[in-house]
């Protein structure tokens, strides 16, 4: 999955520090495209040696290499680099620590961008200084990074898995997925989303694994469960264009190994999940 970058490791802990010549600088344009270049199949970010960014904000480190965010979206792309969307990077590269860094940097860029003003009083926000937060200079309101909890659900009926395809957006095979609502447990989200999208009741809901997905500011939690009764599908055509019970041997995984969804489909297909 995208976060599987061993032996490298991301350290997301907050640090109050300034960017140096050896540090990587992330710049995003108004469409959320990152300034990068592709060299020998790898993503490269500009460094502090290549252009000055005195107000750059520390984001995280990967195996000791520090990454900073350049504030604002009006600056030109550094010489030798180009703006590429995360989906383009995903399709071009497919894996690696720099792709994970791009996804995580985008997540934080979007949060900083969308919280320039206080939701309580409308005052201008600024960096907190001692933690990963923004603070309103007028009323003192403190705003923390936004993370959306969502579920990915592998629904099993015998030797088949409930495979879906979205009505819009991603074109490859997927599983039932959806966001947790206020007041719900994740297990309740699983049951509700499967019922809303496919009309199937489920039982024996069990946790599998989680994944950060910075492209959508999500924290995904994967679950497997079993269909109750005959598992008749009543698909929500507004959400999905395909929902069918697919035998293990006929499951077609997604074209890369980045997503929790893909890993869950492959685990069931191989017989590791029953």
- The domain ranges of the chain are 10-114, 115-145, 148-270
Would the pLDDT of 158 be above 70?
A: yes
The per-residue pLDDT for 82 is: 93
Express each pLDDT in 96-147 by its tens digit: 999 999 999 999 999 999 999 999 999 999 999 899 999 999 999 999 999 9
> What is the SS3 assignment for 118?
coil
Continuous segment of H or E residues that includes residue 210: strand 202-213
Buried b (16+ CB within 10 A) or exposed e, 83-102: bbebeebbeebeebbbbbbb
Comparing 10-114 with 148-270, is the CATH topology the same? yes
Euclidean distance between CA atoms 117 and 137, whole angstroms: 10
Express each pLDDT in 234-269 by its tens digit: 999 988 999 999 999 999 999 888 999 999 999 999
Would the pLDDT of 223 be above 80?
A: yes
The per-residue pLDDT for 114 is: 94
Torsion angle of the four alpha carbons 258, 259, 261, 262, in this order, in degrees rounded to the nearest 10: 0
The per-residue pLDDT for 102 is: 96
The per-residue pLDDT for 167 is: 86
- Residue 151 pairs with which residues in a beta bridge? 178, 221
Express each pLDDT in 35-76 by its tens digit: 999 988 889 999 999 887 888 999 999 999 999 999 876 667
Express each pLDDT in 159-181 by its tens digit: 999 999 998 877 789 999 999 99
Domain boundaries 148-270, corresponding CATH code: 3.90.79.10
Mean pLDDT of 25-37: 93
Could you tell me the fold of the domain covering 10-114?
A: Nucleoside Triphosphate Pyrophosphohydrolase (3.90.79)
């Amino acid at each position: 999955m995208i976060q599987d970058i061993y032996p490298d490791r991301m350290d997301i802990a907050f640090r109050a520090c300034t960017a140096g010549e050896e540090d990587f600088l992330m710049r995003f344009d108004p469409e959320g495209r990152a300034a990068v270049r592709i060299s020998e199949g790898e993503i490269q970010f500009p460094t502090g040696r290549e252009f000055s960014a005195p107000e750059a904000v520390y984001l995280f480190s990967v195996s000791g290499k520090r990454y900073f965010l350049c504030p604002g979206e009006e600056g030109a792309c550094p010489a030798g680099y180009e703006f590429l969307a995360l989906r383009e990077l995903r399709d071009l590269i497919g894996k690696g620590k720099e792709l994970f860094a791009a996804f995580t940097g985008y997540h934080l860029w979007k949060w900083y961008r969308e919280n320039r003003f206080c939701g309580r009083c409308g005052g201008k926000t600024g960096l907190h200084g001692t933690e990963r937060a923004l603070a309103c200079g007028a009323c003192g309101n403190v705003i923390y990074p936004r993370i959306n909890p969502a579920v990915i659900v592998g629904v099993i009926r015998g030797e088949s898995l409930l495979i879906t395809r979205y009505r819009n957006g991603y074109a490859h095979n997927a599983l039932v997925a959806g966001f947790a609502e206020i007041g719900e447990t994740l297990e309740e989200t699983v049951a509700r989303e499967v019922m809303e999208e496919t009309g199937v009741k489920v039982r024996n809901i069990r946790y599998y694994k989680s994944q950060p997905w910075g492209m959508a500011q999500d924290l995904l939690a994967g679950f497997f469960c079993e269909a109750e009764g005959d598992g008749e599908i009543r698909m929500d055509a507004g959400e999905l264009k395909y929902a069918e019970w697919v035998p293990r041997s006929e499951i077609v995984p997604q074209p890369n190994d980045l997503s929790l969804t893909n890993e869950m489909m492959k685990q069931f297909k191989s017989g590791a999940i029953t």
